[in-house]
Amino acid sequence: MRNRGWIGLALVAVGLAVVPLLVEVLDLSTFYLVFLSGILFWTAQSTSWNILSGYSGYFSFGQGAFYGVGVYSMAVLFGRHGLDWLVALAIGGLLAMLLGLGIGFVAFRLRSLRGEIFALLTLAVPFILAALVRLSDTIDGGQGIVVPVPEFPEALGSFQSFFYVCSAVVGVFALTVAFVMERTRYGWALFAVRDDEAVAEGLGVPTFRHKMIAIAANGLIGGVSGAVFGLNLGFISVEGTFNLTVPLFVIVMSVLGGRNHWAGPMLGAVYIHTLQNRLADSGFEGWSLIVLGGILILLVVLAPEGLMARMRRRPWLVSGALVATLLGLGLWGGWGQPVDWLAVGLAAAVVVAFLPSKRRSGVTARARPSAAERLYEDETPGERGRPLVVAEGVTKDFGGVHALRGVSLTVSEGELIGLVGPNGSGKTTLVNLIAGASRLTAGTIAVDGTNLAGIPQHRVAHLGIARTYQIPRPFSTMTLRDNVAVAIMFGRDPHGLSEARAAAEEFLSLVGLDHLAAEYPGKVNLHERQLLEMARAMATRPSVLLLDEALAGLNPVEVDNAVRVVRRIHDSGVAIVFVEHVLRVVNQLATRIVVLDHGVLLAEGDPAAVMSDPAVVSAYLGKEGHARSH
């Protein structure tokens, strides 16, 4: 199963190598080399865009900047100054990569960077570059630059075959990078960012670093591909380079092909380029933008997951339809050129991919024993031991509101602490602070002796803190197994993808979800998603687990099962702090209860004593005359 991808990539590479021979043997016109070079250029551009924007979800409107840096590096260094074209190409790639890193350094350090803001920031970059290029006489100065035909090995014959080879090398390079990322932690870090960046960071994923890697790869490939394309242009101008064509096309191609698969953007490039070409050739050039716009709108509304996802459901039928149409039309020979046959074949493939399926999807097998039956009951919580989390004088203000005031709390090995209090008492705030998700206004929190001040959240995860969310936040595009695998890949004991996937089963069975490993979070119920939260948190191998209302919205049977899972986790040697409203459960589970009210620590101690404390009773029941400090 996992080797299918390699075979696919190898097929693409071999196919591209064979094409020049094919062109010669079949005596096709060099048009086909040019045509394929175009597809390869767009493959490289859209694949590089997809590595950042598709994988991480940060849509960039600035692909034109990377492309333009590549084109102009080639034009200036090779065209103007006669540097070796390969050197110019390398410098173009490096400059575009540096530009990417620069954009990322500014953008990804913004707090609360939203997708739209990133899109607009990247929209501005090509405008700034275009102005600089036009201004600077050493670059362009508004006159344009002539790029001569470079010297190339004679064995290649024509410039077209030389250009084709260059494009093929860059295209395959882009696909390989995307392919490898999809199979390593580099890609999975980005998928996690796309699905839920805060959760990813909390599980130990260094999100900033991986976004920087992605934008660097985007820049490098975009720049190199632009530089190669510059060789083919002959004359280079600011207007022709920094327009909206490249940024628009890479988005349409990737959305059309599918952003979740390395080959998606390539598929989009094949479709769009062929479509453009056929429209232009048959005198419908004036329709190309209308068709493109229509495709974009229909896709966003009807099939946002793209063609690749549809086609992968029935790969044999789809490729069969394509090949059969191509061969059929070719053998008949009564109509059109091979590129026309290709266009019809591609259309047939789409039709087959979108045919309604007979088998109903969405029905999940649930015949296996339920999670509840698979767990055994156990008791006797461990002794209180070494302090793991030491919070002192913790204060947190939001604007003028004091959410927490001078709360001190120690969590020691073997503890199971129930954190309770009325609405708005600061429980979730405290959990967020211990997890490193927000900064203290005053006070200190130390985990295993390390002060959390100034430490990024993923490092807090590596110190041994894991948390779950009240409303489960699974990575929705990943299976349950992969959700857990991501946590293993970036947790305290990191592993590669395949090892992490294997190890994920162990954590899923800890919470009784192993029979659903291949399901997607959208297909399992709330209880199971909450169990998944716990499995994923445990997969980072924490020493302290923070559970934020892990039982909210469950029915009594499910509550009992969840309680058993919590006990089991506790028995495995993990200290637990849990926020909970159902006090019946708290009293049952906790070795110690901590009561917060209006941001201050009201009481702590063993359950029975705390819950009969008059201050606690009136905090809950609102006894008249009890003055609250405010």
Using CB under 8 A as the binding rule, the residues of this chain from 287 to 306 that contact other proteins are: 287-290, 292-297, 300-301, 304
Q: Would you count residue 153 as binding other proteins (CB under 8 A)?
A: no
The distance of closest approach from Cβ of residue 402 to other proteins in the complex, given in angstroms and rounded to an integer, is 12
With binding defined as CB under 8 A, does residue 609 bind other proteins?
no
Residue 53 per-residue DSSP state: I
CB 170 within 8 A of CB 44: yes
CB atoms within 10 A of CB 27: 6
CB of 583 to other proteins, least distance (A): 2
Interacting stretch for other proteins, rule CB under 8 A, among 122-130, 144-152, 203-211, 315-323?
122-130
Is residue 582 at the binding interface for other proteins, with CB under 8 A as the rule? Answer: yes
Joined tokens for residue 292: 């493109």
Give the residues across from 446 on adjacent strands.
390, 451
Shortest separation between residue 253's beta carbon and other proteins, angstroms:
13
**Euclidean distance between CA atoms 325 and 319, whole angstroms:** 10
Q: Where are the alpha helices (DSSP H) in 491-525?
A: 497-510
**The Cα angle at residue 155 between residues 152 and 161, in degrees rounded to 5:** 65
Among 153, 286, 333, 449, binds other proteins (CB under 8 A): 286
Region of 69-77, 209-217, 330-338, 549-557 interacting with other proteins (CB under 8 A)? 549-557
**Considering beta carbons, is residue 120 or 351 the nearer one to other proteins?**
120
526 binds other proteins per the rule CB under 8 A: yes
DSSP code at position 511:
T
| Phi, psi values for residue 497, rounded to 5° | -60, -50
Facing residues of 71 across strands?
none
Report the site for other proteins in 51-90 (rule: CB under 8 A). 59
Task: Name residues contacting other proteins, limited to 238-277 (CB under 8 A).
Answer: 243-244, 248, 251, 255
Name the residue nearer to other proteins (CB basis): 120 or 453.
120
* Under rule CB under 8 A, residue 549 binds other proteins: yes
Q: Which of 584, 605, 606, 614 binds other proteins (CB under 8 A)?
A: 584
CB of 494 to other proteins, least distance (A): 32
Residue 29 vs 525, nearer CB to other proteins:
525
Nearest Cα neighbor of 190 from 373, 55, 30 is 55
Considering only 5-13, 166-174, 321-329, 612-620, which stretch makes contact with other proteins by CB under 8 A?
612-620
Q: Which stretch binds other proteins (CB under 8 A): 161-169, 206-214, 552-560, 568-576?
A: 552-560
312 binds other proteins (CB under 8 A): no
Q: Whose Cβ is closer to other proteins: residue 514's or residue 548's?
A: 548
**Contact call for residue 624 and other proteins (CB under 8 A):** yes
- The Cα 293–Cα 571 span in angstroms is 58
Strands (DSSP E) contained in 483-610 are 544-548, 575-579, 592-597, 600-605
Edge-to-edge strand ranges of the sheet holding 465-467: 465-467, 544-548, 575-579, 416-420, 592-597, 600-605
**Is residue 363 involved in binding other proteins (CB under 8 A)?**
no
| Amino acid (one-letter) located at 188 | W
Tokens 């390969």 -> residue = 86
